[in-house]
Amino acid sequence: MTDYQHHWKDGMPVNLPLGKIVCVGRNYAEHARELNNPVPDEPLLFIKPATSAVHLTRPIALVTDKGSVHFETELAVLIGRPLTNASASEAEAAILGYGLALDLTYRDLQSELKKKGHPWERAKSFDGACPLSPFVPVDQLPRDHQTFTLDINHQRQQSGDTREMLNQIVPLIAHMSSHFTLLPGDVILTGTPSGVGPLQAGQTLSLELDQALFVETHVVNASDT
Ligand code: ZN
């Protein structure tokens, strides 16, 4: 069982429960291309359950019995108000903070599921599939756009810029709320830029968001924990 609880970057707990993590696939054209996926004409949505969340600041316990586990670095949005069929201004007002997440994916299993036209949950919703960073309050970040990076063993691996998203964050949240009610404490994952790849035990992952958040974590074999 996960003991995950939202935190602010100053270490204070966020007094909201995590209900669900609503994600969008293929939100950066270059990442869609690297996996030979067509760019969807509507946001491709899926949900990770609260039980998939773990603290990104702790070591990542790698399990590979179902094939390779890919990292996907994504900007995470913390929701602070209930949203159902929200307008853009309601969606914007509901954003409490931003953080970073890894949308961990059993890539081989996902490819099999995609081939069969089956849902992706077994590849993306397992326990530990969503390491989440502490959150930065929205007023401490640039208003117009966000940038983030992932370095592995101190080499740049992924760079994201929200201006390159196919669906921008505010309309994306409004769209999600037309399909699922979002509740305070829910998290939105906004898609990964190109550069995804397999986690390996021994890797050091360094993530940065807009010079406001720095997180370093390590990958370890689950059997060693
Ligand atoms: Zn993803």
The domain segmentation of the chain, as residue ranges, is: 21-224
Separation CA 175–CA 177 (nearest Å): 5
User: What is the average pLDDT score of the chain?
Assistant: 95
**CB distance 145 to 161 below 8 Å:** yes
* DSSP E strand boundaries for 72-109: 73-79, 95-102, 105-106
Spacing, Cα 56 to ligand 1 middle (Å)? 16
Spacing, Cα 28 to ligand 1 middle (Å)? 10
Spacing, Cα 62 to ligand 1 middle (Å)? 18
Helices of type H across 97-176: 107-116, 121-124, 169-176
Spacing, Cα 166 to ligand 1 middle (Å)? 14
Q: What is the dihedral of CA 8, 163, 195, 109, to 10 degrees?
A: 80
Q: 102 or 42, which is more confident?
A: 102
Separation CA 184–CA 17 (nearest Å): 8
Spacing, Cα 192 to ligand 1 middle (Å)? 5
> Is a pLDDT exceeding 70 seen at residue 141?
yes
CATH superfamily name and code, 21-224: Fumarylacetoacetase-like, C-terminal domain (3.90.850.10)
Spacing, Cα 59 to ligand 1 middle (Å)? 20
Q: What percent of the chain has pLDDT over 90?
A: 88
Spacing, Cα 140 to ligand 1 middle (Å)? 25
Predicted pLDDT at 62: 94
Average pLDDT of span 66-84 = 97
> Is a pLDDT exceeding 90 seen at residue 14?
yes
Spacing, Cα 103 to ligand 1 middle (Å)? 5
AA identity, residue 11: G
**In the structure, what pLDDT confidence band is assigned to residue 15 with cuts at 50, 70 and 90?**
very high
> Is a pLDDT exceeding 70 seen at residue 55?
yes
Spacing, Cα 24 to ligand 1 middle (Å)? 7
Spacing, Cα 72 to ligand 1 middle (Å)? 6
H or E segment to which residue 131 belongs: strand 130-132
**CB distance 32 to 9 below 8 Å:** no
Phi, psi of 121 (to 5 degrees): -50, -40
> Is a pLDDT exceeding 70 seen at residue 1?
no
What residues are paired with 204 via a beta bridge? Answer: 218
pLDDT single digits (tens) 153-179: 999 999 999 999 999 999 999 999 999
Spacing, Cα 40 to ligand 1 middle (Å)? 14
Residue count of the chain, please give it: 225
The model's pTM: 0.96
pLDDT single digits (tens) 76-117: 999 999 999 999 999 999 999 999 999 999 999 999 999 999
Q: What angle do CA 31, 34, 36 make, to 5 degrees?
A: 110
| Strand pairing report for 130-132 and 213-221 | unpaired
H or E segment to which residue 31 belongs: helix 29-34
Pair of tokens at residue 120: 């992706």
Predicted pLDDT at 143: 84
Pair of tokens at residue 219: 């990958």
Give 135's DSSP letter: B
Spacing, Cα 23 to ligand 1 middle (Å)? 7
Give 63's DSSP letter: -
AA identity, residue 29: A
**CB distance 91 to 177 below 8 Å:** yes
Spacing, Cα 171 to ligand 1 middle (Å)? 18
AA identity, residue 53: A
Give 38's DSSP letter: P
Spacing, Cα 82 to ligand 1 middle (Å)? 24
Spacing, Cα 141 to ligand 1 middle (Å)? 23
Which chain residues have CB less than 5 Å from ligand 1, an ion?
72, 103, 192
